[in-house]
Amino acid sequence: MEFSAKQLAQVLKGTVDGDPQAKVTDFAKIEHGKPGQLCFYANPKYEKYVYTCRASVLLVNKDFQPKQPVTPTLVRVENAYSALADLLKYVSAQRRTDRRHRGFRSSWFLTTKFGKKVYLGSHSYVGHHAEIGDYTKIYENVYVGDNTKIGKHCIIYPGVCIYPGMVIGDNVIIHSNAVIGSDGFGNAPQADGTWEKIEHIGNVIIGDNVEIGACTTIDRSEMESTIIGNGVKIDNLCQIAHNVQIGDNTVMAAQCGIAGSTKIGKNCILAGQVGIVGHLTIADNTTVAAQAGVIGNVRESGQVLLGSPAIPSRNFMRSYAIFKRQGQAVPSQGKGDDAGK
């Protein structure tokens, strides 16, 4: 779909600051914006990208005053985050209208490409214009949406749901009841205290030699892609939020949760029940111990983190020694302490 800055301003009840005829056909995060794309700026943490963004149009709050020259045409709106939610909802509705469910017709076999010796189990569905690579096995009761691409020698176990437009590499194993491409948890707060759902129109890209555990969910991005690198191993019951990027050969144990737009480096180890907040960057070769909560960027490679909030292991052990001594020094306050006196 194509919009001009003028059209966007009319739809979103905003004003244009720049070229009203600037055209956009795609969405991108502000740090990746290129000509022909629309980005938005609402979080002050990302202001530095306003001045490096090369997108054609940038949604901003009406009171934003740039401190440096800006390349994109600005569309000023009351609330950039809410305006983006409205725009994504409109685009998503149009896409759903275009993607009418057509079922198993004779044309289905013409639009879907199956490689050599593909196994498709009973009651499984592969959508229109999907591509399935050689020797891939799709077991019973699996859903593969339209325009999804699955590579060679993959194993998709029963009950897996893969939404439309996902991209899965070679030698990937996805265990039962995993969900690839569900909407991320994105909601824009409204003035009346309610929340407006932000539609997600991006996808998930999974590299080669990846294994994804049972009942794990990987959300598609608001725009662009959630990315799982080559050789990543994800255990059961993990949650990977929208726009997350996980570097090659990183592993994570059960019940880990990664919040939106966080970037995990290569060769990291996340133990069970690790939680990482959104919009962080975790350096390569980081190890995070079980039940740790990471609330800040990890810039130094090779660290081992413990605790919540997570800190380097050496600092944690020193702190723990103090906690332990203080706990031992506190006298018991039980009701029976003075009994018999």
Q: Where are the beta strands (DSSP E) in 214-266?
A: 217-219, 225-228, 233-234, 239-240, 245-246, 251-252, 257-258, 263-264
What is the distance between the alpha carbons of residues 31 and 39, in angstroms, rounded to a whole number? 9
Phi, psi of 180, deg, nearest 5: -115, 115
Instruction: Tell me, yes or no, if 242 is annotated catalytic.
Output: yes
HEC string of 158-225 equals CCCEECCCCEECCCCEECCCCEEEECCCCEEECCCCCEEECCCCCEEEECCCCEECCCCEEECCCCCE
Residues 6+ away with beta carbon under 8 Å from 241: 184, 185, 219, 226, 257, 258, 259, 260, 261, 262, 278
- Catalytic residue, candidates 128, 175, 200, 242: 242
Beta strands at 217-219 and 179-182: parallel, antiparallel or unpaired: parallel
Annotated catalytic residues are 242
